[in-house]
Amino acid sequence: MRELLILGCGHSESLTLFNTNAAIRENGRLFLIDCGWTIKAALHAQGYGFEHVDGIFITHVHGDHVFGLERIGYEARFGLGRRVPLYLPESLIGELWDQTLKGSMGRNSEGEQSLEDYFDVRPVGGDRLEAPQLSAPLFKTSHTPGKPSFGLVVDDHVVFTSDTRPVPDVLAGLDFDIGFHDVTFQTGNPVHASLDELVAVYPAAMRRKLYLMSYEDGYAEHEERVNQEFAGFARQGMAIAL
């Protein structure tokens, strides 16, 4: 059984939903797609711990997608005695270590440290992730201006956008039967896709294939509309057979 497991589906501001992170699950082992600050609790909620994680792919460098790397980096290295393979698009490596994790992880009891001291770093060049657990084409998304961010197509039929503004031209060029797409209930948000925008720019046939994720706590009031216009909301613990 091979599945895409939704570990969390919340907006970065959410109090009640875990960060929008997912995993490929096969034979009780996990390959993470993003690793935000709620990852330890989100894994625990599904009956897992860091010992079940065999690899991680990062879509972009925001806290709700990468801050959990500090936890798993320390705990895997010092508690489990191993470095987890970390698949990073080359454009993210400097942002992730020099500008994000180094301040916290750059020095420990053993002295000066690098990203490679905590993780088995596997740079991802080009537009395809090649990991033993997941071979997937990547596509550029439209999230924070000037900041690299990626979505991917899992097993040739499931699109996972991670955080993005609407990207109708990109999705139109992809062959998929299920998608997981960013949404926000705010209007005028410069880096996420509002519900109104998604309804306006994506054709109905495409919308009905999309589960919406990365949403705020007040989702219940939008549930009827989302169920009518889209496949529905992604839910924590939801698993899609691949």
Nearer to Zn ion, 62 or 207 (CB): 62
Nearest CA to 32 out of 160, 206, 213 is that of: 160
Write down the least CB distance from residue 63 to Zn ion, Å: 8
The identity of residue 240, as a single letter, is I
Nearer to Zn ion, 25 or 143 (CB): 143
Element spanning 43, H or E: helix 39-45
- Point out which residues bind Zn ion (CB under 5 A): 62, 163
Nearer to Zn ion, 25 or 179 (CB): 179
Q: Which two tokens stand for residue 4?
A: 């895409």
CA distance 39 to 17: 11
Write down the least CB distance from residue 117 to Zn ion, Å: 26
CA distance 109 to 92: 27
CA distance 181 to 198: 9
Write down the least CB distance from residue 201 to Zn ion, Å: 20
CA–chain centroid gap for 227, Å, is 23
Write down the least CB distance from residue 215 to Zn ion, Å: 13
Write down the least CB distance from residue 65 to Zn ion, Å: 6
Nearer to Zn ion, 56 or 76 (CB): 56
Nearer to Zn ion, 34 or 229 (CB): 34
Nearest CA to 226 out of 195, 186, 197 is that of: 195
